[in-house]
Chains A and B, each alone.
Chain A
Amino acid sequence: MNRSELLFIYDINDANPNGDPLDENKPRIDEDTEKNIVTDVRLKRTIRDYLEEYADESIFVKEKVSESGEGIQDAKARAKDFLPEGDYESLDDAKKIMKENILSECIDARLFGGTIPIEVKIKKKNQSGSITLTGPVQFRMGRSLNRVNIEHIKGTGAFASGDSKSQKTFREEYVVHYSLVTFYGAINENAAKYTHMGEEDINKLLDGMWNGTKNLITRSKFGQTPRLLLQIEYSENNFFIGDLNNKLSIKHDFDSDKEIRSINEFTLVYDQLLNSFEKYSDKISKIYYKLDDSLKTEDNSNKSLIENINSLGIETEELLL
């Protein structure tokens, strides 16, 4: 496995890509730049839910209610899956066994790591500790490339708020008109050794990013569309370019980018990204990509992003997602 970096772009229309729980669930905004923020954990949630529901993977951090009902009971039962009954000599022994079991079973622990607080009976005494794993896959907070408008929408609910009320309740929500969200991530082959992450896991990660984003059919996320996914794989150990999300911008004909309402109204500008690729082309082994046709990446000479990368002599391969 080699070091690679990820660049992922998706967009969303008239919906809420990531609500702020302490601010009426408004879309998160960086007040200074008026850009939309999406936390890394939102993207990880998307990936986890997709892998569990569509790819039949076990997920460690999950919040779905199981068929069996009694959640807590069930969790304890499930915990025993990770730690077989028995007498353990020390907390470290139990920790080791548990860690290996969780890693072999749960793809999200292999990808993203985690901190797992544990409590085990050692010689009839409860001992507690924690397992800490740094995940080989890390994402920076996502940011929109355009400045966004927040719209406050009010409507009527279908139900009354209590018995013997004749009026239905009101509901309100906040949406962004249009947000083009960019995520930058890194996949570290050295950290992968600790969590036993393999190539197959990376393929599932990319699948989860692209198709998980597409498949979110909740009201607040419906219509999210993945537009670009790049996996830049390096040939030289430990080398990386870094900061990929800050090498992109958009070009449009409006007075303000707040007026953008759809993918067809702007072009992606990526000169800085290409410059970096060119500068380090001897260190890049391959760029895997998936590009949605609607995202305009043609430059002045009418070449798309992928054609431009190819003309630097860098090998590209389309991801089959």
Chain B
Amino acid sequence: MNLVVFDVWGDYAYFRRGYTTTSTISYPFPSRTTIAGFISGILGKERDSYYDLFQKNNSKIGLKIINPIEKTRINLNYVNTKESIVLFEIKGNGKRTQVPAEFLKNVKYRIYLSLDDDDILNEFYGLLKEHKSVYTPYLGISECLANFSLVSEDIFSVEPIKEENVHIDSVVLKNSGKLVIESGKRYGVIKSPGYMDENRVVSDFLEYYYESNGKSILLDSCEYYKVGEDNVILY
């Protein structure tokens, strides 16, 4: 299986929960759907045109937390746009709402991508290699501009390994194996959108364990991939 591995980072990131308009809490790392959108933006895919590329049966994605997850609060001033069609002279009582938004700060992730469609995977790899991006890449919202770089000059070729008591360096799906708790680590669990159908409706959620400082997670037995130095679970 071919795997393209790259790092993404930025000053800020903001991965809002899509199922509500009121929560301003950020996911600690981008959901699978967000990663798919990020990759499609670099490739220059049209809005709503790429969902079938990233389905369960034809793609694999993995993510490793590199910089510890740090959060900061940036308070935003929202405008009530229900007043009229046009955001014009929206002033007065109740037309402005101040919202504390939770941003992530100084983020860096390593992302692993495999697609059944080799042509697109190679095209993506070529863009990364030349540091090109068709649309401006960002982390969650447009003001969180991002940068990226390839981790290795080559595309990795990997095969799944089954093993017991293995330290995994990426985030792990909850059902990958039994988690062995170690001291000195900060574990978190999060559920975020996994797949979308052609109508932009989430068809499946994925639930992960992660270590918020980017340390490894010990599983009693699991199927994983060896990518360079890292043991990675793909989903």
A258 at interface by CB-CB < 8 Å:
no
The answer to whether A140 touches B132, judged by C-beta atoms less than 8 angstroms apart, is: no
Task: Say yes or no: A117-B85 contact (C-beta < 8 A), given A28-B74, A186-B145, A239-B131.
Answer: yes
Task: Say yes or no: A62-B143 contact (C-beta < 8 A), given A21-B75, A21-B98.
Answer: no
The answer to whether B74 touches A75, judged by C-beta atoms less than 8 angstroms apart, is: no
Interface residues of A in 63-79 (CB under 8 A from B): 63-66, 71-72, 74-76, 78-79
Task: Say yes or no: A239-B86 contact (C-beta < 8 A), given A138-B142, A140-B145.
Answer: no
Q: Count A-B pairs with CB separation below 8 Å.
A: 135
The answer, among B77, B82, B85, B130, for a CB contact under 8 Å with A239, is B130
Task: Say yes or no: A75-B75 contact (C-beta < 8 A), given A190-B44, A246-B11.
Answer: no
Query: Bound state CA distance, A72 and B85, in angstroms?
Result: 10
A116 at interface by CB-CB < 8 Å:
yes
Q: Tell me which residues across on chain B come within 8 A of A143, comparing CB atoms.
A: 11
Query: Bound state CA distance, A57 and B87, in angstroms?
Result: 16
The answer, among A37, A71, A246, for a CB contact under 8 Å with B89, is A71
The answer to whether B72 touches A30, judged by C-beta atoms less than 8 angstroms apart, is: yes
* CB closest chain-B residue, reference A112: B142
Quote the shortest CB–CB distance from A29 to chain B (angstroms): 10
The answer to whether B86 touches A75, judged by C-beta atoms less than 8 angstroms apart, is: yes
Interface residues of A in 43-94 (CB under 8 A from B): 60-66, 71-72, 74-76, 78-79, 82-83
Query: Bound state CA distance, A3 and B175, in angstroms?
Result: 44
Quote the shortest CB–CB distance from A43 to chain B (angstroms): 10
Q: Chain B: residues with CB nearer than 8 A to chain A?
A: 10-12, 44, 47, 70, 72, 74-77, 79, 81-92, 98, 100, 105, 127, 130-136, 138, 142-148
Question: Could you name 7 residue pairs across A and B whose Cβ atoms are closer than 8 Å?
Answer: A22-B100, A60-B86, A76-B85, A113-B142, A116-B81, A117-B81, A242-B146
